[in-house]
Chains A and B, each alone.
Chain A
Amino acid sequence: MTLGGPRVDRPAEPSSLFTTDEAEAPPLTLRQLTWRRFRRHRVAIAAAITLVLLVVYAFGGGLIVTEKYANYTDTSLRLESPSSAHPFGTDTIGRDILARTVYGGQISLIIGLTAVLIETLAGVLIGAAAGFYGGRIDTLLMRFTEAVFNIPQIFLLIVMAKFFGGMIPNLTVLGRTYSGSVVVIIFIIGLTSWPYLARIVRAEFLSLKENDFVLAARATGTRNSEIILRHILPNSAAPIVVSATLGVANAILTEAYISFLGLGVQPPTATWGNMLEGAYNYVATAPWLWIFPGTLILLTVLSINFLGDGLRDALDPRSRTV
């Protein structure tokens, strides 16, 4: 091994001081380091695998059963318990629960991901502007954030769902028809959940912008927009990624929550949440109505949370473990 001291004192012949040792083992990049740390986190790895399986279940399953079948009603088959024809049983109007968990899963996961996209965009933009520019902009944006923060999300959700519920007609994307309520729910969840992220991003920016490398970048003539996006934002990637991951779980839960109250995505479009809605009268008599969608929600949320934990540890630049 060589000592880690500076290897250069004679710039004229640079390569002579380069030892074979170092040539054989190039140092790890940030990405490799992160991956190594993530790999250590067994639970997070298991969670990631579970998530992949869930995605395969929802989207791969769609290739096997058709949506028509998932929405096919046969009242003569109401509340059938699991059997070989209907492995997860049937619901209150005779629809196959297995097929509905597949299509419901697609919607739930899509809602989770897109709502977080909106949340992250809004949260990062508002937080970054407030933290970087400070002063009056900061005051204005943060008071607004607090205002949104102070309204209990569930009331906001219910009111907005009621208000915007019928406003968007059904959409047809790639040959499939979605209830317009899906879009409404995505936006409602996205637009009510950003304040928390905005605060995190603002706090990150407040401390990061005081760093010497920001001054150095300004001394290089770098524009503000470039400093925000290229210099500061990557430094706050860890908390954003973690919060976004956890946000997906939250969005799926929130969707389940309001769909359960009958204000969310409207049938016949299935989601894991609105499948639970019809189940609460049959908690004891037909448990398969809630066990399957409930378990899927639980699994998804749990694995996303564990994944978030793993990412938090792996992305922490202060963590020195390799």
Chain B
Amino acid sequence: MKRPRYLRFLSLLMFLQAAIFLGYFYLSFNQPTTLTFIQIWVTELNRGNFDLNIPRGLATVFFLTGTWLGLGVASFLIWIGLWRVWAWAWSAAIILEGVVLILSLEAYLNNVVDWRFYTAMVVAVLISFLLNQHETQILYKVIETPVEGPFGK
């Protein structure tokens, strides 16, 4: 199947988004503080302490890394769906971009924004506008191809 240019571009952006989020996950997870937190927790577990007393700070780290991982995996799966032109992929993609934009804008409004959020924002904006194009929506059967009525105009 010869895919139109806008679809190739959309898929490329979605793949890029998956790579970015998984990259963020790797960077966040691989930090010394994160690893130290995890080592402490694992040690506690080995000692038989199962009261789930998560060390301070680890919850935040888990949330952040978990978010990047979740977004990355979701982006990857949606990339496959978009590339195969599966109808559900459009809906999943628009919801995903909504989540990414809410997180980015929330970070911006709370003054905790950094280059990672800005990058995510740029990619999400581009993907959203591509998803909102007439051609894209017709391809994924979100809207029907306009047909002329019984009396023309």
- Whether chains A and B associate is no
Which residues of A line the B interface, CB within 8 A?
none
Which residues of B line the A interface, CB within 8 A?
none
